[in-house]
Each structure stands twice: as structure tokens, then as C-alpha cells.
Amino acid sequence: MTAQSLLPRARHEHLLRQLELHGSVSAAQVADELGVAQVTIRRDILELEKSGLLARVHGGAIGVSAAPTPQSARTDIGVVVPSSVGHFPVIVKGMDAASHALRVRLILATSQYRPDLERRQVERLVDIGVDGIILAPTLRGRTEAELLEWVGTIPVPVVFLERRLRSTGLAAFDSARTDHAGGAVLAVEHLAALGHARVALALFERTPTAPLVREGYASAVADLGLEPAPQVSLPKDDEDDLDDALTDLLDRCVSTGTRAALVHTDVHAARLVEMAMDLGIRVPENLAVIAYDDDSAALALVPLTAVTAPGRDLGQQALRTLMDRIAEDDAERSAPRHLMMGPGLTVRSSCGAAR
């Protein structure tokens, strides 16, 4: 798409992004960057001001938080995620970073992976008058049909976060998620490029991410023609059971000549490295390790190469998607938006590649 053909939404997102980064924008500068007439940008600024997303000043605009007498109404957004640790805090921080320019108040609640608590949290948010909800639903203990029946009763717009939902009914809702299968492919391809013909897999099965990692891993192994390698499921809570599973993986790697492993999550990968070193298996010299998740990977005994989710960007885009939906006229409702963002690979010491 050329600059001349940029849709209004793309221009609006550019304006809001520049406001978020710099606090103010010049209409002339933005027009030059996008290759459009200044009058077009001034009209965009006027439209965004009417929506309460910025404040006009001579020659451009400033963020509403910087305006001396902001008149626009605040939008209250509820965010319900399973946990306040691990994967989701970075996503929420991304939402918070975007919330100031959008004049949004975020209200955070956690479900602890309990459908009953999740329902109560959403009910509380609706009762206090939120304008929309970003929801990472708990999938354990309920079918997608049951989830659809419940979410269909929520009287405000909902954006699903970090969930692949296959139901046709659920596909009618907006969503934003990471391409976790693609992240696994990225990791296996990297290890194969380093010369590994076999890549083991360890999965923490309790998370919704695990099936997607397995799917991507299987696809990459098949596409690259890699040899069969050990695969283990990691137990949920018991530390002794976890150590037994990781010991089994290490024993099978040694017996099959497997010298590389993809381990989900980074917490489990860090434990694997410690146990390997206790057994005289050096990382990465004898075993290359890539962690899936990058919440604490850099702090491991051997800093872990890790699949890094686009958490902050994903949070920002999820919030903007919900704000767009809230601003729509019900009579002209647009098609559902399903945003999927690719993760990256952060290379550290554990895989043996140059950083």
C-alpha cells in the first residue's frame, strides 16, 4: 500500500503512535512522513479530538494527558487475565503504555485459571460500568460452546487475548494473540541451522500455549526432515515429579545422541540446565537449549536463548482494537478483527550460537 492510499485508520494509528512516543505531533511533519496533504492530517486530528484521543494545538496536536483542560470523556476498560505473574504482566504494561494517549483507565482483574472466578470478575467490571473488556479466558473446565454462551451475554464489547478459539461463534469476536506455533518453528529452525539433526521437546502441559508449541514443533521437524527425538510432558506442581521428568529427558537425550532441546517454559528450561550441569552435561557444549517464553530466561545459570513473545506490542494492539470497536456505530459494525503477532528469538548463551 502506498502512502497516498493509506486508509484513515492507518493514519490515525500513526498519529497516536507518534503522540505516545513524543507527546506532540506536527501536522506538517506527519503529512510529509505519510506523503499526504496537510489538510488531510488536520482533518484526522479533528476527528481524533472529537473521539477524545488527542487535543488540537496550533500546527498539530498533543496527547490528552498533556492538554491543560482536557474535556474528553475517559473510557474505562476491564482486563481479565489468568495471572499477575509470568506471561501476562508484559502484555498489560503494553496496554498501560497506550492507555494515556487513548485516555483510557485500565482496571485489572485476575481469574487464577478458574472459570467461576473469571465470571465473577467480569460481572464486577460490568457492574461498575466499564466500556469494554479484554479477556484471556480460562479454557480448562469448559467447552468453547459454554464459553460462547457466557460471553454472548456480556453487554459490552469483548476482545479475546492470547487464545486460539476455533468455534465459529467465538470467531465473531475480536481477538489478539501470539503465533505460538510459529515461535516453536522459529526455535527448531534455529537449532537445525546450528547443525542439530534431532531436537527434543519438553512441554508444560497445563498452559493453553503448550498445544500450539507442540503443533509448531511437529510441523518444523517434518518440514526440515529431522530425526525422531525424545519428547516429555512436564507435570504441574510436584517438584519431585518435575525433576523425574527432566531427568528422563536428559537420559533419553544422552542415549539417543540428541544434543538440542526446546523446553516450555523458561522456568523449566532453567531447571533443566541446572540438572544437566549436575550430571556433567554441559550447556551448550553437550546440550543446546532454547526456552519457550522469555520472562526470566536471561537470569538462568546459563542465560537462555528464548522465544520472546511480542507482549508489549500485543497489549497495545489489543487495546486499540477494543477502542476501535467501542467507537463504532452498531448499525455499521465492521468485520471481526483477528490479530496474530509473531514472536522473536532472543539469542543468548544456551544454544551455542554467536549473540
Grid-cell match 474535556, residue found: 71
Q: How far is 162 from 194, CA to CA, in rounded Å?
A: 30
Same domain, 265 and 330: no
Q: Is residue 354 part of a domain?
A: no
Asked if residue 41 and residue 12 are part of one domain, the reply reads: yes
DSSP 109: E
Task: Reply yes or no on whether the pLDDT at 236 is more than 70.
Answer: yes
Type of residue found at 47:
E
Q: Give the position of cell 486499540.
A: 320
Q: What is the dihedral of CA 290, 292, 294, 300, to 10 degrees?
A: -50
Which cell numbers in the block locate residue 120?
465473577
Distant-in-sequence, close-in-space partners of 335: CB < 8 Å, separation ≥ 6: none
pLDDT band per the 50, 70, 90 thresholds, residue 70: very low
What does the pLDDT read at residue 239?
A: 74
Same domain, 162 and 266: no
pLDDT of residue 330: 67
Domain count across the chain: 3
Residues 6+ apart with CB under 8 A from 332: none
Whether 90 and 155 map to the same domain: the answer is yes
Q: C-alpha cell of 116?
A: 467461576
Residues 168 and 315 in one domain: yes
pLDDT given at position 328: 84
Please identify, among 20, 37, 66, the residue that sits at the C-terminal boundary of a domain.
Answer: 66
Q: For residue 126, count other CB atoms closer than 10 A to its CB.
A: 15
Distance CA 294, CA 299 (A): 10
61/80 same-domain check = no
Domain range for residue 134?
75-178+311-341
| Assigned domain for 213 exists | yes
Asked if 196 and 305 sit in the same domain, the reply is yes
User: Would you place residue 331 in the very low, low, confident or very high pLDDT band (cuts 50, 70, 90)?
Assistant: low
Averaged pLDDT for residues 185-199? 97
pLDDT value of residue 65: 59
Q: Which three cell numbers stand for residue 132?
A: 469494554
Burial of 328 (0-12, 13-18, 19+ CB in 10 A): exposed
Which range in 23-27, 51-55, 320-324 is most confidently predicted, on average pLDDT? 320-324
In a domain, 119, yes or no: yes
User: What was the pLDDT predicted at 5?
Assistant: 52
Question: Does 72 have pLDDT greater than 60?
Answer: no
Question: What 3-state class would DSSP assign to 138?
Answer: coil
**Cα–Cα distance, 354 to 154 (Å, whole number):** 50
Verify that 198 and 267 share a domain, yes or no: yes
Is 81 found in the same domain as 172? yes
- pLDDT value at residue 47: 84
Return phi, psi of residue 73, to 5°. Answer: -80, 145
Return d(Cα 148, Cα 129) in angstroms, integer: 22
The answer to whether residues 189 and 168 touch, using CB atoms and an 8 Å cutoff, is: no
CATH number of the domain where residue 257 is located: 3.40.50.2300
Within-domain flag for 352: no
**Residue 39 and residue 3 in contact, taking contact as beta carbons nearer than 8 Å:** no
Percentage of the chain surpassing pLDDT 90? 66
Q: Collect all residues with Cβ–Cβ distance below 8 Å to 239 and sequence separation of at least 6.
A: none
CATH of the domain at 25: 1.10.10.10
187 lies in the same domain as 297: yes
**Could you tell me the CA-to-CA distances from 1 to 5, 7, 34 in Å, in that order?**
6, 9, 11
Q: How confident is the model at residue 182 (pLDDT cuts 50, 70, 90)?
A: very high
Q: What's the gap between Cα 115 and its chain centre?
A: 21
- Both 208 and 293 in one domain: the answer is yes
Supply the pTM of this predicted model.
0.76
Q: Is 86 found in the same domain as 61? A: no
Rounded Cα distance, 237 and 216, in Å: 25
In this structure, the number of other CB atoms found within 10 A of the CB of residue 18 comes to 20
Contacts of 165 (CB under 8 A, 6+ apart): 144, 147, 171, 175
Q: Is 236 exposed, middle or buried (0-12, 13-18, 19+ CB in 10 A)?
A: exposed
Asked if 232 and 262 touch (Cβ cutoff 8 Å), the reply is no
Cell of 224: 526440515
Instruction: Tell me which of 14 and 72 has the higher pLDDT.
Output: 14
Cα separation, 120 vs 115, whole angstroms = 9
